[in-house]
Amino acid sequence: MPPLRTVRTVCPRNCYCTCGMLVTLDEHDRIRSIDGDPENPATGGHVCLKGLSYARRVTCADRLLTPLRRKPSGAGFDRVGWDEALGEIAARLTRVRDAHGPQAVLYYEGSGSHGALGALSMAFWRQFGGCTATYGDLCWPAGLEATRLTYGDNRHNHPALTVQSRFILLWGHNPAETNVHQWRLILDAQARGARVVVVDPRQTDSTDAADVHLQPRPGTDAALALGLARLIVEAGLHDAAFLGAHAHGFEEYRQRLDAFPIDRVSAITGLESESIRALALEYARTKPALLIAGFGLQRHSRAGQTMRTVALLPALTGNVGVAGGGWQYANLASHCLRPLPLPPEPPASRAFPVSQVARHLETLDAPPIRAAWIERGNPASQNPAAPRLRAALSRLGLLVVVDQFMTPTAELAHYVLPAKTLFEEEDLVTAYWHPYLQWRAKVLAPPGDVRPESDIWRAMCERLGFDTRYFPADRETLLRGLLPEDCACTLEDLKARPLDLSGHGDVAFADRRFPTPSGQVEFSSDEAAALWGVDPVPDYVPLDEGADAPARARYPLQLLSCKTRDRIHSQFGNLDWVREVERPHVLDIHPDDAKARGIADGSRAAVWNDRGRIELVARVTPGLRPGVVHMLEGWCHAGDPDVNALTAEGITDMNHGATFYECLVEVARA
Amino acid sequence: MSGAGFLLDLHRCVGCGACVLACRIENDRAELAAWRRVLPLNLRRHPGGPTYFLSVACHHCEQPACLKGCPSGAYEKRADGIVVHREERCLGCRYCEMTCPFGTPRYDAARGVISKCHLCAPRVDAGRLPACVAACPTEALRLVTASTPPTGEATVRVPGFTDPASCRPSLAFLAPAGMRRAGLFRSLEEGLKR
């Protein structure tokens, strides 16, 4: 048998795991296996089903392999050569810029593929004279900011220390589906005697394996956190020594707790007083205790303040800087690369929040958006107000979409340019759960006429006579220059194994030095008040579209659109291998809510609010809290229901996030 | 269980299907029916039972019904317990599909032959784990051999899995834990024993 070759690389999806991978190919460059890289201690020798599905994804029949141009009739596409496509795009972009200014062009990039080279797009746009871009993030920014305001930095303990925990509190987090490598470590800890408690309005694969499950009303987490804190302080179980040395504003915070007696917290959250008390006492008494928060509980308008209340519990109980303890939200230890060398930012740039693309396409003036370039994203399906967003994109004079597949966004384009996969260009990839920077090797040559985005941007610069020195022919040289200045390692070291270059060590804040304004854990944050106009001491404020909202008179059900293991948002859903093992696409509804509406299991249900209406099959399940309905997000193929027809273009109280989970609806038989 | 087979930890299995995809890649089944399947139990989360997942392929039975039902001697039980199917002797009669109570054999209409999981015998012979076991991200699916039998806590009969009495499959399970799931599992298990 001819020899096989094995290449070490990394998965660049927007996912906790960022798995190190070993890809083995035969002499025809066919993928013979995809294995986990044992050199990555967090993900170990395993990838997940999505990582394995790359063996299908890179060669599947619906992959785009040539540039496409919309037919003159408007329906469908013709193949077109790169020269012709880029020449026409460059001419049309230039016409828009010259007539209306560079801000008349929207550049939108999503999180579809992580890598340092993604920023090369700005070498074009800055020389173009600027553009309109987006700021903020659809996913997680409020929690990042809350953690930064509280502890000074987004870093947490090394994942391997999870097994040292005696008590693991998963709050709005479902790692059995969304971080399967963390789940392995949690199961290992549980097997060694750790208690696992989950706070989640839904019954999930994580809650099934847990020792205790609390199902609060969505959006009431701040009340629960403040109520737990009050019980802990009342019982004298707070870590007075730690707080005396390392807490800023504890007294103001303590006064805030007076407003959260257990009866009130029980009424707000819908939880039994006894289960709240039991959680408070057990969490505070069992050391070390690890609190892991998901992203879900910060996808609403009070997100930042909510996350501050939850993030303070590990500090209150002295679980910070402790192996097996701590606060886990996101670990940005690997985000240590130097910025790409780019031309200076032109003054003519402008930007708007990414959760409000539809609104800004509709209303931006002086100048309105007339052309757009979209890559690594699928906003036509994945952003709030998706139907309006699609209509607005359809009205543009020019839409260019770069993607591997014909997504709902690409279907609206005038030009669709075929994108590389992770295996077809080298890059450096950071993570947000483990601390490792990883080398993404080029494993395969791009198939067909596919070009990496960096080549597309270089060609666009050439077309418009821009400086191309930002695009060296040798990507390794460019990437080598991004390693941190004081870095002792080389690119060759990174090719051999994932590396933690942070210098923080495995236990976050082991030195009890917190890079906040006070140098302490900030129970009260003047910075929060100054930056975001919020109360310096975090509070519970009911959601406008929440459990206590007057709007429930018309739309009584809270809709959550959660993530599962089969996809990263709308990615992977086109693959037959994934569809074969994925979860059913249904509306989960509690038997009480279903009965009141005459909805039977398996019947078709309509879900609507003032923003939109969709239909899908109902699954009547006692696993949900009554008053909550749920469907998975990320469906964007023919006939799929469009959850973002229902979601609002809200903004989180901090850091410009989206509010997908603040969404009241009514449901009826369709 | 005396020979080679699988042990599935129902507490650790999250039903993700990585095993199914790894099997497809390893055994060149990109376009063909997968040898391994994941059968979810109670996804609707009826309160009367636990939710868990059965990842199943061939069980390499001690008394293989496929072998007994095959008129052409295409099946062989190796000394280590692995049941292999030899395509060159397969008539394509599909009798084994009828005799196997687990729905394991797959008929490939284009070539007119049966195929099935061989426990990655070439890998096992080379001292490696089967692809499905190697890929399992939670280490729920494990290889069992004569020298590494399942532990004493393992059970062979679980709710949702075909009664193993007739052919003694080489598949054992570890019961799910967790406050809610463990109790529900035990009550269903009691029902099976009655």
CA distance from start to end of chain B: 23
Alpha-carbon distance of B109 to B128, in angstroms, equals 31
Tokens for B34?
Answer: 């997968």
**Distance in angstroms (rounded) separating the CA atoms of residues B102 and B162:** 7
pLDDT of residue A391: 98
How far is A25 from B111, CA to CA, in rounded Å? 26
State residue B47's pLDDT score.
87
Contact B44 A619 (CB under 8 A): yes
Measured in angstroms, the CA of B43 and the nearest CA of chain A are apart by: 9
pLDDT tens, position by position, A325-372: 999 999 999 999 999 999 999 987 899 999 999 999 999 999 999 999
- Is A254 in a helix, a strand, or coil? helix
Q: How many CB atoms lie within 10 A of CB B6?
A: 28
What burial letters (b/e) apply to A579-592, b meaning 16+ CB within 10 Å?
ebbbeebbbbbbee
Residue that the structure tokens 């967790």 belong to = B178
A 559-578 residues with CB < 8 A to B: 565-566, 577-578
Alpha carbon of residue A133 to chain centroid: 19
Antiparallel, parallel or unpaired: β A326-328 and A68-70: unpaired
- A274: buried, middle or exposed (CB in 10 Å: 19+, 13-18, 0-12)? exposed
* Distances, alpha carbon A578 to alpha carbons A56, A184, A379, B30, in Å: 9, 21, 22, 12
Question: A621 and B26: CB-CB below 8 Å?
Answer: no
* CB A438 within 8 Å of CB A17: no
pLDDT of residue B161: 87
Query: To the nearest whole percent, how much of chain A has pLDDT over 70?
Result: 100
| Type of residue at B107 | Y
Specify the residue for token string 């990437």.
A479
pLDDT at A524 over 90: yes
Select B5-193's CATH number: 1.10.390.10, 3.40.50.300, 3.40.50.410, 3.30.70.20. 3.30.70.20
d(C-alpha A226, C-alpha A516), whole Å: 22
Q: Give the residues across from A33 on adjacent strands.
A: A24
What residue ranges of chain A are covered by domains with CATH 3.40.228.10? 141-332+508-532
- Region A160-182: what's the mean pLDDT? 98
At residue A517, does pLDDT exceed 90?
yes
Nearest by CB to A52, from B22, B177, B180: name it: B22
Q: State the nearest Cα–Cα gap between A314 and chain B, in angstroms.
A: 24
Q: pLDDT of A468-506, one tens digit each?
A: 999 988 999 999 999 998 888 999 999 999 999 999 999
Q: How far is CA A349 from CA A98, A272, A597, in A?
A: 15, 52, 50
Residue A136 token pair: 């903020």
- List the structure tokens of A191: 């097997």
A141-332+508-532 CATH choice from 3.10.440.10, 3.40.228.10, 3.30.470.20, 3.90.650.10: 3.40.228.10
- Measured between beta carbons, the chain A residues lying within 8 angstroms of B135 are 35, 46-47, 52
**Distance between CA A458 and CA A454 in Å, rounded?**
6
What are the helix (H) ranges across A562-656?
576-581, 591-596
Q: What angle do CA B143, B147, B148 make, to 5 degrees?
A: 40
Contact A622 B138 (CB under 8 A): no
Domain with CATH 3.30.200.210 in chain A: 5-57
ipTM: 0.96
With CA atoms as reference, the chain A residue closest to B18 would be A49
Q: Given A46, A176, A620, which is nearest B136 (Cβ)?
A: A46
Find chain A residues with C-beta within 8 A of B137's C-beta. 36, 46-48, 180-181, 184
Q: CB neighbours of A8 closer than 8 A, spacing ≥ 6?
A: A20, A21, A22, A37, A39, A439, A441, A495, A496, A497
Residue A2 scores a pLDDT above 80: no
Distance between CA atoms of A131 and A381, rounded to whole angstroms? 23
Hey, what CATH topology would domain A5-57 get? Phosphorylase Kinase; domain 1 (3.30.200)
Q: Which CATH class is domain A68-135+338-429+438-496?
A: alpha beta
Alpha helices in A129-194 (DSSP H): 141-151, 175-178, 180-191
**Helix, strand, coil % (nearest 5) of chain B?**
25, 20, 55
Query: From CA A214, how far away is CA A177, in angstroms rounded?
Result: 18
Rounded average pLDDT over A385-398: 98
| pLDDT one-digit tens code per residue, A280-328 | 999 999 999 999 999 999 999 999 999 999 999 999 999 999 999 999 9
Q: Residue B114 has what DSSP assignment?
A: E
Q: Which residues of A touch B136 (CB under 8 A)?
A: 46
Domain edges within chain B: 5-193
Backbone angles phi, psi at B115, to 5 degrees: -145, 165
Specify which residues B85 forms β-bridges with. Answer: B75
B26, A33: Cβ pair inside 8 Å? Answer: yes
Domain with CATH 2.40.40.20 in chain A: 550-669
Distance (Å, rounded) from C-alpha B21 to C-alpha A35?
12
Beta carbons of B14 and A177 less than 8 Å apart: yes
CB atoms within 10 A of CB B46: 15
Query: Is omega for the bond preceding A339 within 30 degrees of 0, making it cis?
Result: no
What's the DSSP call for residue A118? G
Kindly report, residue by residue over A179-189, the tens digit of the pLDDT. 999 999 999 99
Interchain CB contact of B46 with A (< 8 Å):
yes
Query: Quick check: B74 and B90 in contact, CB under 8 A?
Result: yes
HSE (side-chain half, CA atoms, 13 Å) at A478: 21
Q: Which CATH architecture has domain A550-669?
A: Beta Barrel (2.40)
Side-chain-facing half-sphere of A511: CA atoms under 13 Å: 7
Position A591 pLDDT exceeds 90: yes
Cα–Cα distance list, A492 to A425, A488, B84 (Å): 17, 12, 44
Token look-up 């040898």 returns B35
Of residues A260 and B148, which shows the higher confidence score? A260
